[in-house]
A and B are shown apart, each in its own frame.
Chain A
Amino acid sequence: MTAAIELADVHKSFGNHQVLNGFSLRIPQGETWGLLGPNGCGKSTVLNMLCHLISCDKGQIKLLGKPMTMLGVETRSQIGFCPQRSALYPDLMPAENLLFFARLYGLSELQSQQRVAELMHDFSLTDFSSTPVKHLSGGWQQRLHLAVALVHRPTLLLLDEPTAAVDTEARLAIWQLIEKLRDEGTTILMTSHHLAEAERLCHQVALMRDGKLVAQGSVSDLLARMPDQAVAKVQTEDVSSITQRANLMGWPWRHLGNDVKLFVPLSLSLREIWDALGEAKITSISLQPVTLDDAYLELVGDAASLPTLASKPRHRP
């Protein structure tokens, strides 16, 4: 099957900063993929390249089987792009925003009107048909932002952190909309910081770090890469003693402030872990199964992505 998106050994620098460093990815048609990684790892750069906004320095990009260099602006009609930041015309009503973009894609007046009515209904925007966009809440604006990306029925949808700036209710609504598109067979590539989001929405995820692909597969595949492990969360005023003991035991660890996360064998009890940590002063300790976020950190291993991550890089003795 022809891949919808194919990137091979793609390099991109901005000045002296190498953003993509031999990034490769192949996404079959009709699949939904999540592109995950810490801030600055190159996720948005990949999307911007696929939208023709920037070109790569080296490597090859193919869209729907054709090299990007051979495709002109007409490919833009096949791509729907939802940038991270909501970009709408605040004085216009939701339908007017949609209609404007429909006309830019060359839809006839009748097609435009029909498509706008369809999207207004599907995205539950009809109640706000006479509300200027500037008076919509962030969540509703984000829905409209997504609807604009779909106005021309793209075969490929690129979403840059579609739920980054919305509340829980709006996030759930947007997830449902993306699920519907996924189930209809639209090829979707979305960036995200959250494995939970990717697990719910994506067939596959690709994890990036330092401009490279570090892992890909389904979320369950990625979790399976951490077999027989649990996470011991230790609160201590003596971080160095804890980490030294962890090193001796061969347990990978992360820490932020006085909290240390130890990746320990699943077979160990809390008592055995406590004993193994010896004389170190422990304020509290708990034992939990490995979560999606733990797996993400294990695989991506960059402290910059989430405030809850260790300030020190993942250490493996």
Chain B
Amino acid sequence: MSSDQLLLKQTWAVTRRLMLEQWRQKKGLVFWAVFPATMMLLFGMVYAHNASMRAGLDAAAAGILVGAALFFSCLGGTVAVIAAERERGTLLRLLVTPLRPSAYFLGVVISQLLLALVQVVVLYAIAWLVGAKYNGSVWLGSLILLLSVFSYVGMGFFLGARFAKRSEEVVVALSAIGVPLLVLGGTFFPMEIMPQAMQNVAQLNPMLHMNQAFKGVAAYGKSFADLRFEIIFLVLFCGLSLALGVQSYRHLLGMDKPQ
């Protein structure tokens, strides 16, 4: 078996294992669907009630998907995978197999992508049932979602490898870092109602650009040219996030070796 074939085989093995574990945690799967759907419906109703905001559910579906659903599933999910691997001692066991770090990394990315795909389908199915519409380019929307998922997984590796040694710490890390980012990312409130100082700070928040880019395509039908600033920002952030994730994962492999 060639080196590339082994890499693919190992990547797929990691993906399958993670998906199987996710499947076995049925309650968790239900919550992954219920949480964003509830949020979307609640925020959609609030937006729709406000006459100055058009297409309330269209915007809510997009915002909740990128800002909350993918954040908690992809970023939170990755942190949880790393923390569990460390807690159970399986990371050490993996280190003595020929598993390549890149295969593990890719395996996690793919499993999170598949989960994200399911969330997109579920959320938009519900949104469609209550009358929301997807108004823009599917390809552009997919590109933005892909960049968002990669960014979240990279950040997940970074947070998981650096800060979360135990499963309990995952919730704390997500709450401490994630919720302020969600608020400043315009997931829950429109940016316009925030003070100018907060709006200025929020410009540094990648989640704001994810939100604006995906809302721009999905709710308002904007084109690539309209969203080039957000997309460039996302590409750069995605690169930085993945680099940080890979570096943190390597650090983790060294750190978790016996001493």
Contact = CB atoms under 8 A, between A and B. Distances in A.
Contact of B258 (A53, A76, A105): A53
B103 to A, nearest CB: 8
B50 interface: no
B78 to A, nearest CB: 17
Interface in B4-46: 5-6, 9-10, 12-13, 16-17, 20-21, 24-25
Given A87-B88, A87-B89, A88-B88, A53 B96 contact: yes
Interface in B91-113: 92-100
Contacts of B5: 106
Nearest to A44: B258
B10 A103 contact: yes
B90 A87 contact: yes
Contacts, number: 78
Interface residues of B, number: 28
A33 interface: no
A96 B21 CA distance: 10
Contacts of B94: 104
A89 B88 contact: yes
A106 B258 contact: no
Interface in B214-259: 257-259
A86 B92 CA distance: 11
B1 interface: yes
A91 B24 contact: yes
B88 to A, nearest CB: 6
Interface string B77-95: 0000000000011101111
Interface string A68-92: 0000011011010101011111111
Nearest to A14: B259
Given A105-B98, A106-B98, A87 B258 contact: no
Contacts of A74: 98
A117 interface: no
Nearest to B17: A100
B90 to A, nearest CB: 5
A170 interface: no
Nearest to A53: B257
A132 interface: yes
Contacts of B99: 104
B98 A83 contact: no
23 contacts: A14-B259, A45-B258, A51-B96, A52-B96, A53-B95, A73-B100, A76-B98, A81-B96, A83-B89, A83-B92, A86-B89, A87-B90, A89-B17, A91-B21, A92-B20, A92-B21, A96-B20, A100-B13, A100-B16, A100-B17, A104-B99, A106-B6, A132-B24
Please list the 7 inter-chain residue pairs (A to B) with the smallest Cβ-Cβ separation, ordered nearest first: A103-B13, A87-B89, A87-B93, A91-B24, A81-B96, A104-B97, A51-B96
